[in-house]
């Protein structure tokens, strides 16, 4: 059962450090910053006197009721406004959303006093006590650009699409599963979201530990050799979207000696109409007759397969 065929998903959007994210995004660029608002732009109202930018957001509350093998879906559209206070520090723009759990956003590329521009997000920066403070850029999941015009906002997010997935925590875990027997080191735990965690240091350490040589490499695949074994690792169908709920999906394939191990990860923090069906019941978690999330993760089977792949 291939879940990713059910969805057309934009790249992941994490506008805030935490809190509810219900803002539409898309990886496609708008042709004009100051043009009319077209989907998937967000309609906004700018108050130059109060120095505020109000985003007019809509989201859908989904509910999937489960009674035996009968799945019933209902949905409700909700409208809300999110107010940002803005200020300029030279040519740097600071956006701070009102409410708990939001982190200010630092942007550059425009001009002092003029919101209408294509702004680039500075990941890992905070505005604290009147000063810009550099924090950990590696852990940042901010979108790339904010295109602001008089009455609309377009958010461009390539935070996952331009990743090097071979430099992920998942890759380091795969190395351990494949080669630990040659070094007898402790195996770490794994779970499906590992792919969406940057792990360059762990990958580099594992390569040194196991003497891994990379023969071929792209952002989503690599062929390596170690201990006389040649292995190919490939990530496919990578999708992520946090516009209305958390959705992540990907597949991994590891091949060696004519054999392969296959992995599928699919997670939705909310059950949508497309999957509120009995055919997906093996992957849907139900509490008090309500489907609360979808979670398909064959980590255990995948890990066992990797342990025997090089035998």
SS3 185: coil
pTM over 0.85: no
Q: Measured between alpha carbons, how far is 224 from 281 in angstroms, rounded to an integer?
A: 38
CB 141 within 8 A of CB 129: no
Q: How many CB atoms lie within 10 A of CB 79?
A: 8
Please list the pLDDT of the chain residue by residue as tens digits (311 residues): 444 443 322 222 233 222 333 333 333 444 444 445 656 688 899 999 999 999 988 777 778 999 999 999 998 777 888 899 999 999 999 999 888 767 788 999 999 999 999 999 887 788 877 778 887 544 444 567 888 988 898 887 666 667 899 999 899 999 999 998 887 665 556 667 777 787 888 899 999 999 999 999 999 999 999 999 999 999 999 887 765 567 889 999 999 999 999 999 999 988 988 899 999 999 999 999 999 999 999 988 999 999 999 97
Residues 6+ apart with CB under 8 A from 164: 219
Q: Measured between alpha carbons, how far is 163 from 159 in angstroms, rounded to an integer?
A: 7
């Amino acid at each position: 059962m291939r879940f990713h065929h059910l969805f057309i998903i934009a790249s992941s959007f994490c506008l805030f450090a935490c809190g509810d994210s219900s803002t539409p995004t898309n990886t496609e660029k708008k042709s004009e910053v100051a043009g009319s608002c077209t989907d998937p732009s967000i309609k906004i109202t700018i108050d130059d006197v109060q120095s505020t930018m109000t985003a007019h957001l809509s989201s859908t509350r989904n509910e999937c009721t489960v009674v035996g093998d009968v799945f019933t879906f209902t949905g409700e559209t909700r409208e809300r406004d999110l107010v940002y206070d803005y200020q300029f520090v030279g040519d740097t723009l600071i956006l701070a959303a009102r409410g708990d759990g939001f982190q200010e956003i630092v942007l550059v590329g425009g001009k002092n006093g003029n919101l209408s521009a294509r702004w680039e997000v500075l990941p890992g920066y905070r505005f604290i006590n009147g000063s810009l403070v550099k924090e950990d850029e590696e852990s940042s999941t901010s979108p790339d650009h904010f295109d602001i015009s008089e009455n609309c906002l377009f958010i461009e997010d390539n935070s996952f699409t331009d990743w090097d997935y071979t430099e992920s925590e998942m890759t380091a875990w795969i190395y351990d599963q494949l080669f630990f027997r040659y070094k007898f080191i402790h195996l770490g735990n794994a779970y499906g979201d590992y792919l969406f965690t940057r792990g360059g240091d762990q990958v580099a350490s594992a390569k040194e530990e196991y003497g891994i040589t990379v023969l071929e490499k792209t952002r989503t695949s690599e062929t390596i050799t170690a201990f006389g074994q040649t292995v190919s690792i490939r990530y496919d169908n990578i999708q992520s979207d946090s516009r209305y709920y958390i959705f992540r999906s990907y597949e991994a394939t590891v091949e060696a000696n004519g054999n392969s191990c296959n992995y599928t990860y699919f997670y939705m923090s909310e059950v949508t109409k497309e999957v509120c069906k009995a055919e997906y019941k093996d992957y849907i978690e139900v509490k008090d007759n309500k489907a609360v999330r979808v979670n398909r993760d064959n980590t255990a089977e995948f890990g066992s397969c990797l342990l025997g792949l090089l035998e």
